[in-house]
Amino acid sequence: MAKPAKSETVPKTMQATFEGIVVITDDFARQHLNEEYATLIRQATAALCRKRPSPLASGKAQTWACGISHAIGMANFLFDSSQDPHISAKDLYSWFGISAGTGQGKSKQVRDLLKITQMDPDWCLPSRVGDNPMAWLVSVNGFIIDARSAPPEVQVRLAAMGLIPYVPDQGPR
């Protein structure tokens, strides 16, 4: 699965909206998460700003910040206490001052708009992509295989095509 190019670039008309949400999410990430989460949340916010029309053009920044943070958290098992970092969904909603129903609804909207799923390789924390089995699955002649078991020369070609994150023996670049 090829990763889409991610950036924090937004249209000028959405710059103030982007910055308003990111101030909130960066503060949340600084207090409860880490820089990897902060980056993914900013990239998701920017992706939503680039949608036409952008859903972020209406609604409260605090609500969007909560929904985006929750959506990225769901993709990375943020609510599992065996993970580090982790936070309960209840504590996340509380930090943003949002009800559980509103937070879940906004998160669902974000996940639908960006097609985010659990273990989604496109929204996985970079430090965890090596352990994410979904990042390594490719179809070969109609069969799904784990590219980590493919011959090295095939892995090189798959990585060059963007179908896997990197050549396993060479590590992330």
All domains of the chain in start order, with CATH: 12-120 (1.10.472), 132-173 (no CATH)
- pTM exceeds 0.75: yes
For residues 74 and 65, the answer to whether their CB atoms sit within 8 Å is no
For residues 135 and 147, the answer to whether their CB atoms sit within 8 Å is no
Burial of 104 (0-12, 13-18, 19+ CB in 10 A): middle
The pLDDT confidence band at residue 1, using thresholds 50, 70 and 90, is very low
pLDDT value at residue 5: 57
> Is a pLDDT exceeding 90 seen at residue 48?
yes
Dist. CA 126–CA 171, nearest whole Å: 12
Kindly report the number of other CB atoms within 10 A of residue 58's CB atom. Answer: 9
**Both structure tokens of 67:** 């929904």
| pLDDT per position as a tens digit, 27-36 | 999 999 999 9
Dist. CA 149–CA 172, nearest whole Å: 17
Rg (CA), the chain: 17
Dist. CA 137–CA 143, nearest whole Å: 10
pLDDT value at residue 2: 42
DSSP 166: S
| pLDDT per position as a tens digit, 123-161 | 999 899 888 888 889 988 899 989 998 888 988 999 898
The alpha-helical segments, DSSP class H, found in 33-60 are: 35-50
For residues 70 and 26, the answer to whether their CB atoms sit within 8 Å is no
| pLDDT per position as a tens digit, 72-111 | 999 999 999 999 999 999 999 999 999 999 999 999 999 9
Dist. CA 67–CA 44, nearest whole Å: 11
Quick one: which H or E segment has residue 140? strand 137-140
Mean pLDDT of the residues in the chain: 92
Dist. CA 116–CA 119, nearest whole Å: 9
CA geometry: angle 52, 98, 39, nearest 5 deg: 55
Kindly report the number of other CB atoms within 10 A of residue 124's CB atom. Answer: 23
